Amino acid sequence: MQGWVWAIFFLVPGIIAAIFGFAGIAGTATWIAQILFFLSVIAFVLTFFWGRRRRV
């Protein structure tokens, strides 16, 4: 769940910077948000399948 919070934390300033015309800051913030989003999705999928594994 923490990965989603960090992705939103970087996405909101990126959108605000884009509105005000700061392209460099907006691009960097949204790039970081995108990477954190995909990392959190990968972590979710891995832990979902790891937890469903049967114990021997």
The Cα–Cα gap between 53 and 56 comes to: 9
> In this structure, are residues 26 and 17 in contact, taking their beta carbons and an 8 Å threshold?
yes
Question: Which amino acid type is present at position 53?
Answer: R
Query: pLDDT per position in the chain (56 positions), as tens?
Result: 577 788 888 888 888 888 888 888 888 888 988 998 899 899 889 888 887 766 66
- What is the per-residue pLDDT for 54? 63
25 burial level (CB within 10 Å; 0-12, 13-18, 19+):
middle
Structure tokens that stand for 51 in this block = 């937890």
pTM for the model stands at 0.69
